Chains A and B, each alone.
Chain A
Amino acid sequence: EVKLLESGGGLVQPGGSLRLSCAASGFTFTDFYMSWIRQPPGKAPEWLGVIRNKANGYTTEYNPSVKGRFTISRDNTQNILYLQMNTLRAEDTAIYYCARWMYTTGVFDYWGQGVMVTVSS
């Protein structure tokens, strides 16, 4: 069974940093692209970025809205996906999801339960 479990959310002050983790299980982690998606309360999801699989060199793509502030990485020995977020702003307040990205079908086929990040003083 595919499982994705995010952690690391919480309250952070504007200008601060936070690192989210996503523990993956139930599939061969290195075979899959992985993404981060966020959803402000009551709004639509927003894709943040993707990190490719081993066959594609673990390269990354980002949404221009967060490029330069957010960094996606992965620990392929522990099957963990990371999202490093810097220079946080109030508008970064959202539920953050990790999701498995199937580039062959263009979909997020499995999502984690999400973790809340609140940026406020």
Chain B
Amino acid sequence: DVVMTQTPVSLSVSLGGQVSISCRSSQSLVHNNGNTYLSWYLQKPGQSPQLLIYKVSNRFSGISDRFSGSGSGTDFTLKISRVEPDDLGVYYCGQGTQYPLTFGSGTKLEIK
């Protein structure tokens, strides 16, 4: 199985600030077709996870440009700029390159 390792486990940021979350995979996420199926999700308190980013750097419909993804191979980053109160929750990375599909252990974002 592809193990997804996220750091940090938690972080605290002031409103308007910027944060970065790291996600590393135990194997390359480059599919045989050349695509890299790395995605990011946000789970707000009491809600289901919601899709933010797909294929490393593409924002899902309706997602603010304050969210950006980058990386390649086994090393990926989610950046959130101009943090707002609605950004709090747990962020998960996920891989869709090979079965079984797997998620990272999560990064909890708190607002100072």
The chain A residues found within 8 Å of chain B, CB to CB, are 35, 44-47, 50, 61-65, 97, 102-103, 105-109, 111-114
Contacts and interface: CB of A to CB of B under 8 A. Distances in A.
B48 A64 contact: no
Q: Give 4 closest A-B pairs by Cβ, nearest first.
A: A106-B96, A106-B37, A111-B48, A47-B101
Interface in B54-107: 54-55, 58, 60, 92, 94-97, 99-106
A107 B39 contact: yes
Interface of B: 1, 31, 35, 37-39, 41, 48-51, 54-55, 58, 60, 92, 94-97, 99-106
B106 A109 contact: no
* Dominant secondary structure of chain B at its interface with chain A: loop
Contacts of B94: 45, 107-108
Contacts, number: 65
Nearest to B48: A111
A112 B49 CA distance: 9
A47 B102 contact: yes
A103 B54 CA distance: 11
